[in-house]
């Protein structure tokens, strides 16, 4: 006879949970949980941000609470990625202006980054990570022509 067909299988699941001390009940309520509705095992979050499975009986509830564990994941604010060097240069060139139009050579001269190839700059500034970083700063970039010369157009949104 398998486990599911045993006649006493219901006895295990109907055992009432022992009562909690008042301070543990208040702590659980502050985290938004009801002790009677909690599963037997749940995810515990460590003070360093890690997590692991653990029991929720009164003994472990008190023990983990005293160690600083919580039942809610800690809020970790998102980290803003650092600005790409080309974005810093574009912000420097734009300054207080809302639009800048010029060739990649003029971009290099105004940014003060001599020794860089204008062709390489023109390709690098349109890479995905650079354009995403420009978008986060509220700057749009496009290509156009001025006469026969190819130019970059920087605009503040």
Residue 11's pLDDT is 47
- Residue range 103-112, pLDDT digits in tens: 998 999 988 8
Average pLDDT over residues 60-75: 90
Residue 75's pLDDT is 81
HEC readout, 9-24: HHHHHCCCCCCCCHHH
Domains located in the chain, CATH noted: 17-76 (no CATH), 85-156 (3.90.1150)
Mean pLDDT, the chain, whole residue set: 86
* DSSP 3-state percent helix, strand, coil across the chain (nearest 5): 40, 20, 40
Pairwise CA distance, residues 151 & 105, whole Å: 9
Structure tokens at 91: 């912000």
Residue 6's pLDDT is 58
Which one, of 21, 31, 14, lies nearest residue 59 by Cα?
21
Residue 13's pLDDT is 53
Question: What does the angle CA 61 – CA 67 – CA 73 come to, to the nearest 5 degrees?
Answer: 75
Residue 63's pLDDT is 93
More confident residue, 19 or 11: 19
Model confidence at 116, pLDDT cuts 50, 70, 90, reads: confident
Structure tokens at 13: 């699941």
Pairwise CA distance, residues 137 & 87, whole Å: 8
- Residue range 52-67, pLDDT digits in tens: 999 998 999 999 999 9
Pairwise CA distance, residues 40 & 22, whole Å: 20
Q: Percentage of the chain surpassing pLDDT 70?
A: 90
Q: Rounded to whole angstroms, what are the CA distances from 76 to 48, 80, 84?
A: 11, 12, 24
Task: Please return the burial class of 152, using the count of CB atoms within 10 Å of its CB with bins 0-12, 13-18 and 19+.
Answer: buried
């Amino acid at each position: 006879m398998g486990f599911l067909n045993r006649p006493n299988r219901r006895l295990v699941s109907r055992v009432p949970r022992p009562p909690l001390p008042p301070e543990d009940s208040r702590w659980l309520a502050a985290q938004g949980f009801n002790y009677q509705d909690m599963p037997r095992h749940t995810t515990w979050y460590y003070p360093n941000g890690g997590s692991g499975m653990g029991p929720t009986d009164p003994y472990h509830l008190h023990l983990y609470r005293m160690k600083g564990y919580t039942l809610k994941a800690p809020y970790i604010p998102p980290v803003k990625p650092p600005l790409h060097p080309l974005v810093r240069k574009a912000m420097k060139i734009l300054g207080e202006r809302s639009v800048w139009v010029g060739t990649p050579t003029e971009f290099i001269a105004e940014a003060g980054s001599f020794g860089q190839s204008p062709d390489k700059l023109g390709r690098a500034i349109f890479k995905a990570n650079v354009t995403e970083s420009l978008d986060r700063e509220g700057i749009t970039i496009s290509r156009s022509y001025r006469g026969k010369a190819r130019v970059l157009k920087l605009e503040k949104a």
